Amino acid sequence: MYLLEREVTFILGGARSGKSSFAESLIEAYGSEAIYLATGRAWDEEMSERIGHHKSRRGSQWITVEEPLDLVGKLESLAGGETAILVDCLTLWLTNLMMAERDIDAEAKRLTNILGHFEGAVILVSNEVGLGIVPENRMAREFRDHAGRLHQAVAAVAAKVYFVAAGLPLKMKG
């Protein structure tokens, strides 16, 4: 049995690994009101369908808040209380930051600073992208490198870290 506490939990996994479902189950077991802090943008029909699928499987305890860029500001406004927050996902947030030509290192530092003293239960979900071959183009390599550094920083401040593969969570920390 996995329990969610008033702390930072980080969940990594590949695409379609079951990481979001696992994160949702942790929050649903927590038993409080839940905020789904979505970072994705529906740039095309396929992404709209993915977002719709995620929304349809969540129960009535969930409130969806969309924030593609100012994740830290939104977390600051939602911190505290008994509400559990699920951030899904950091790699989509990173993509949005890159497309907006934001300072990735500064944004990552802002995120880890708030997580280091976050009051409440928060789960952050992200795609592990560093297990494959070296990408062929510069932007993809930069994305992979930014994601790897971001994941290391978030894992360092998280109380618990899980890696999910084939729907099976492996506890790595905590």
**Cβ-count burial 2-33 (b if 16+ within 10 Å, e if not):** eebeebbbbbbbbeebbbbebbbebbbebeee
Of 29, 18, 135, 146, nearest to 88 by C-alpha is 18
CA 150 to chain centre: 11
User: 53, 54, 117, 151: which is the annotated catalytic residue?
Assistant: 54
Q: Is 54 assigned a catalytic role?
A: yes
Tell me the catalytic residues. Answer: 54
